[in-house]
Structure 1
């Protein structure tokens, strides 16, 4: 009798565990999963904020349709780092902006990591309309990396390695990414103009006759210091309006939009192109200087090391015309890879070059 009672209790306990268990991020690829994408996202603790955003916009149920779909899914940690900690935080966004956000992470077709070409900037049209960019490379300093384990970044956001990539579902595949993708349907000029904390940069661009170029087709990449940074160098809103660019070497200010040369450079691109310690010739060269973005992910403790080094492209080594190392404003998740209709904005916490050292 005691044995039968224990057996019944054990069976009941197992039923409770099974009933409460949420989906794992690792359904087997060699089977035919029956779970559709919308239901999988809804039932995953690590994707609960993405699920909430999709639920608010009606996309979650749409992802249960036959498909197929590829979804780049930011986990909760990625949302937390841009200031979204609960579903209520999405209420601060307009319905249109939230709809754009979630639909921009999905495109039609099922693409596993091995199916993305081994090259930079593969384009895929999202459900939102605008394209996203998938870059694939071998591991740094490696001549060959197996396709399933290659380094893959989407708009500068890392796709985590297995088991968080190639999550096979009945109507598509999910790849979990490091941070939410950031797309604004405006030009770089409109983006900068709308943010009053960037007003000094806007004035400097106008004084240097670079402003009008930022509304053209591009694509352009712009490194943007905010007003607080300029004030550290004694450049105020008033003094910026009186700035005489003829008193400075051209590079002093045209380095920020990379001299308006058409380039779309995500924060992680140059790491993929050149490896961690690439030569100066593989960096972003502007005049006699070179910008070297660095990105390192520590898998042991799940931390990132991200920064920009300013290099002397002629003499080699670090630049002597300002800070040698610059960081992204409010961290990597917030400061980098803000994609617009005609390029990219990276928010930085220092000037690339000290104008005082470049006076004629």
Structure 2
């Protein structure tokens, strides 16, 4: 009789603990709480407080936070030429930067979509690649950050530690090309064709960007000078818009061996080896991929492609 009473009492206590959430001792805490308890993330904790995001990151989520270490923030201060106090006082910048590190879903290491565009809360994109057995992030300014620890679990999401603060894109496609010396003739051509405003627009666009050497080869192929090419606005416009595809298409997302529709209206195809075949049967190699801009992405090519005559 006594044993039966004890058994009933134990079962009642177990039920009571379950009803009251007795497993909370194993609760790791919210993302905000986990970050504040980690000495490596003390500056991130200060930044989240200064930007008034602590309540957000304590909410139900789920969220994924790419959390810069203290060393990452120290490097950013040097890069921006500001003190920690100045950074924490600049709430608009701080908020934009911090939200760029947050995804509106729980994404563990095993779920990271390698090579594909990842869109954080702030908007814009970055990507993650596996490079030499390390996970590396390319941010909107084409800077690289390494994920140094993954899958720190919180009650409302997951944290991945990174060694460099990510920054969202601050240059359009034209501005990005303007800052790339090997694309200077492309910028001249875009200007001569009156396409600057279009390629500075919202987009997003994917631009297959011919190098200066590619344009030099085209001049020989067509038997014209650079000045003659730049003066022929109808031809220039047709050729340049043939290098632009609507949408943001990263290397990992290029539809291989499938016609890719361009803004000009024609199509071209790309092989798995990243060789383009244009509508005249000519070939061009993609020699650099995934150069981010605020309104799209650039892929650098070694030969100007041409639409059907």
Distance 1:85 1:207 in 2: 40
Question: Matches of residues 184-195 of structure 1 in structure 2 within 5 Å?
Answer: 184=169, 187-189=172-174, 191-192=175-176, 195=179
Structure 1 position 281 matched with structure 2 position 254: no
Alignment of 1:327-342 (within 5 A): 327=288, 336-340=290-294
Q: How does 1:186-225 map to 2 (within 5 A)?
A: 187-189=172-174, 191-192=175-176, 195=179, 197=181, 199-224=184-209
Aligned to 1:43: 38
CA distance in 1, matches of 2:238, 2:298: 18
What CA distance in whole angstroms lies between the structure 1 residues aligned with 2:208 and 2:46?
32
The correspondence for 1:91, drawn from 77, 81, 85, is: 81
Summarize deviations over 1:111-131 as a string: whole Å, max 9, x none.
Answer: 2459x8x9x9898661x4x36
Q: Are 1:243 and 2:229 an aligned pair? A: yes
Residue 35 and residue 289 in structure 1: after superposition, are their counterparts in 2 closer, same or farther (change >3 A)?
Answer: closer
The 8 Å contact of residues 38 and 61 in structure 1, kept in 2 or not, is answered as no
Aligned partners of 1:122 and 1:133 also within 8 Å: yes
Distance 1:57 1:91 in 2: 22
Contact 2:275 2:286 in 1 (8 A): yes
Contact 2:145 2:165 in 1 (8 A): no
CA shift in 2, pair 1:268/1:121, >3 Å: closer
Contact 1:285 1:313 in 2 (8 A): no
Superposed, which structure 2 residues align to 1:74-85 within 5 Å?
A: 85=75
- Structure with bigger helix share is 2
Is it true that 1:290 corresponds to 2:251 in the alignment?
no
Provide, for residues 295-314 of structure 1, a one-character-per-residue CA deviation record: whole Å limited to 9, x for no partner: xxxxxxxxxxxxxx223267
Q: Which runs of 5+ in 2 are unaligned?
A: 1-24, 129-136, 218-224
Instruction: Give the alignment's TM-score, normalised by structure 1.
Output: 0.47
Mark the CA change 1:337 to 1:62 in structure 2 (over 3 Å): closer, same or farther: farther
Partner of residue 58, structure 1: 50
Question: Shift of the alpha carbon at 1:253?
Answer: 4.5
Distance 1:179 1:284 in 2: 35
With the length of structure 2 as denominator, give the TM-score of the two structures.
0.53
Aligned partners of 2:271, 2:26: CA distance in 1, in Å? 44
- Does 2:99 correspond to 1:103? yes
Whole-angstrom distance in 1 between the partners of 2:233 and 2:215: 16
Q: Secondary structure at the match of 2:191?
A: helix
Compute the RMSD of aligned alpha carbons.
Answer: 5.9
Q: In terms of Rg, which structure is larger?
A: 2
Q: CA distance change for structure 1 residues 57 and 243 in 2, over 3 Å: closer, same or farther? A: farther
1:230-269 equivalence runs, <5 A: 230=212, 234=216, 243-244=229-230, 246=232, 253-254=239-240, 259-269=243-253
Structure 1, unmatched stretches of 5+, are 1-29, 136-152, 274-279, 295-308, 329-335
Residue 346 (structure 1) aligned to one of 266, 285, 298: 298
Task: Say if 2:292 is the partner of 1:326.
Answer: no
